[in-house]
Structure formats: C-alpha cells, structure tokens
Amino acid sequence: MPLSPEQQAEIDAQRRQKQQTLRAVAPGMEAHLYTARPVLDHGFVRVIDYMGDDAAICQAARVSYGKGTKSVQNDEGLIRYLMRHWHSTPFEMCEVKFHVKLPVFVARQWIRHRTANVNEYSARYSILDREFYIPAPEHVAAQSEVNNQGRGATLEGEEAARVLDILKSDSARCYDNYQAMIAQDGQQGLARELARMNLPANIYTQWYWKVDLHNLFHFLRLRADVHAQYEIRVYAEAICETVADWVPFAYRAFEDYRMGAVSLSAQMMECTRRMLRGEEVTQETSGLSAREWREFRETLAG
C-alpha cells in the first residue's frame, strides 16, 4: 500500500472540497483528481490539477472570444487536423500537474524530458522513507541478447531468487546504515546531504511534475512505447489512462497519429510503393541496409 492513513485522509479531504469555478471543467479528469493510481510496488501517479479541455485546444487554435468551434463534431475534426499536420501550439494550451512517487532510477530517465516543471522531494532537507522497488518475479529479466539496452526472458529458479535476495538485502542494509549515520542519539549525526549518497537507485522519491499536453504527448510516445523500460512504461500507461479521460478527442488523435503511427523513411516509402504496384522487392533491390530491411519487414507485418 503506497499511502499512509494520514496521507489517504488528506486526499479524501481534498476530494470533498467542491467549489464553483468559471473555468473549463473536464468531468473525466475531476473523477481522477488527487486519487493515487498505484504503480509498481510502492509508487503512484495522482493528478493534482489540470488546465483546459478538448474545447480549449480549439479555442486557442482559433484565438476565439468564446468557446472553440460551434459543435462537438467540429471540435474533434479540428483537433485531428491539428494533430495530423503537426500544429503543436494549440495542444500546449492545456496543462496538467501530477504528484508522482517513483524509484530514483526511473526518475533519472524521466527527468531527461526537460520541457516540464519539476519540484522533487529534497533528500538534502528531509529524510527519505524506507521504501525500495523490488521487481515482481515476472519482471526479473535477463539481459537481452539482441538489444543492448533491453531485457530478454524472465529469470527463473535459483538465479531469480538470488537477484531478489540481493536487491532486498542490499536495500535494507544501505537504509539501516543511512539511518545509523544520520542518527543524533549519542553522536552528532552525519549531514543528510551526505548520508543520502549511501542509498541505492531503487529507493523511492517523489515529485510534482507539471507539463503541457504537447510535451506530455511527446513523453508518452517515447515512454509508453513497447521499447521503453518496463518500470517507466507503467507510469506512462497510468498517465495515458488519465489523459484519455481528460481530453478524449486529443487523446484519440494522439493514439492514431502518433502512438500507433508509423514513420517510413523515404526509401521505405518507395519500397512500399513498388510493392503496391506488384513489384517483388528484396533487401538487395530495396536500397535499405540489412538492419533497416529487418525493421521495415517488421513494420509491414504489424
């Protein structure tokens, strides 16, 4: 369970405080607000605030005085057009803020997306909790043999047990020693800004993360992708579920034109055209390298 009773009570209190507003309201997102959606063994994603909805995208695209287009159908058509033709600024007019609890090694990957606002819990100022990510057995996987930066089959038997054992015992020992070093009974106590260096990368941290919808879609396309590391992908997927309820038209357009879309190189597109004309194309006649040809065949197979 990721939340203490006190934390849950604070969340419940916020969910009871309905107020009136003149702003755009997205009912699908109101249902998610503040609630913690569990991710991994101790993590979560929860929506803290949002700005705008599908109509706000249209309103900004038209720089209009009132709401966006005349009808809901027009809104969806316009949004799909904007997405298809890479008009990014209207999507930047929606914003969302999340509270995320996540292992440090996931946070380090996440932060590489720089076009967002972040405020992280400070281990210089505060003491971190004893919470470490220990993978579920089915996610303890071997190094991939084909992809240097990926994982292969699930480890089994003794090897898997040994891994889990190590992760648990090293986490526990490092945390015990972290506590021992900062303790102030009978000693001065090491500065927190130094003691934190003894903590391994599977310890959980948390942050507030705020991003506009365009940049969020970019993040999701890379991190909800099947090639992303499992431990960040589950966060991206949890976010996808909330975004689908927040801006359903934009999310559907994102699924069709980004997430599920395929980019074919100039040469690949030319091969496709030749194949559609009935020509037999092989790697040799394709102009593609062996590696590109393999990727192309995989794309066609779907």
Q: Is 63 exposed, middle or buried (0-12, 13-18, 19+ CB in 10 A)?
A: exposed
Interaction with a copy of itself in 30-49: which residues (CB under 8 A)? Answer: 30, 33-34, 48-49
Near a copy of itself in 112-151, by CB under 8 A: 112, 114-115, 117-122, 124-125, 133, 135, 139-144, 148-151
Does residue number 236 form part of the binding site for a copy of itself (CB under 8 A)? no
Q: Judged by CB under 8 A, does residue 61 bind a copy of itself?
A: yes
Q: Does 302 bind a copy of itself (CB under 8 A)?
A: yes
Q: Give the CA distances from residue 170 to residues 115, 125, 163, in Å, rounded to whole numbers and listed in that order.
A: 35, 24, 11
Site size for a copy of itself (CB under 8 A): 138
d(CA 54, CA 61): 11
User: Do residues 107 and 205 make contact, with C-beta atoms less than 8 angstroms apart?
Assistant: yes
To the nearest whole angstrom, how small is the minimum distance from the Cβ of residue 30 to a copy of itself? 6
Determine, following the binding rule CB under 8 A, whether residue 212 of this chain makes contact with a copy of itself: yes
Q: Is 244 in the site for a copy of itself (CB under 8 A)?
A: no
Tokens of 292: 């590109």
In whole angstroms, what is the distance from residue 297 CA to residue 302 CA?
A: 9
- Placement of tokens 């249902």 in the chain: 31
201 binds a copy of itself (CB under 8 A): yes
Return the number of the residue (1 or 22) whose C-beta is nearest a copy of itself. 22
Residue 237 in the binding site for a copy of itself (CB under 8 A): no
Nearer Cβ to a copy of itself (102/238)? 102
Task: Collapse the DSSP code of 187 into the 3-class scheme (helix H, G, I; strand E, B; otherwise coil) and give the result.
Answer: coil
> Which residues between 249 and 268 bind a copy of itself (CB under 8 A)?
255-257, 259-268
Q: Which of 262, 284, 264 minimizes the C-alpha distance to 272?
A: 264
* CA 149 vs CA 11, 143, 228: distances in Å: 38, 8, 10
Residue 64 binds to a copy of itself (criterion: CB under 8 A): yes
Residue 20 Cβ vs a copy of itself, minimum distance, rounded to whole Å: 5
Positions 150 through 169 that interact with a copy of itself (CB under 8 A): 150-153, 155, 159, 162-163, 166-167
Residue 1 in tokens: 């369970």
How far apart are CB 241 and a copy of itself at their closest, in Å? 18
Name the amino acid, one letter, at 230. Y
> Binding to a copy of itself by residue 241, rule CB under 8 A?
no
Closest C-alpha to 259, from 272, 274, 244, 275: 244
Q: Which residues participate in catalysis according to the annotation?
A: 223
Q: What is the residue whose two structure tokens read 């927190």?
A: 192
- The residue among 154 and 241 lying less far from a copy of itself, judged by its C-beta, is 154
279 binds a copy of itself (CB under 8 A): no
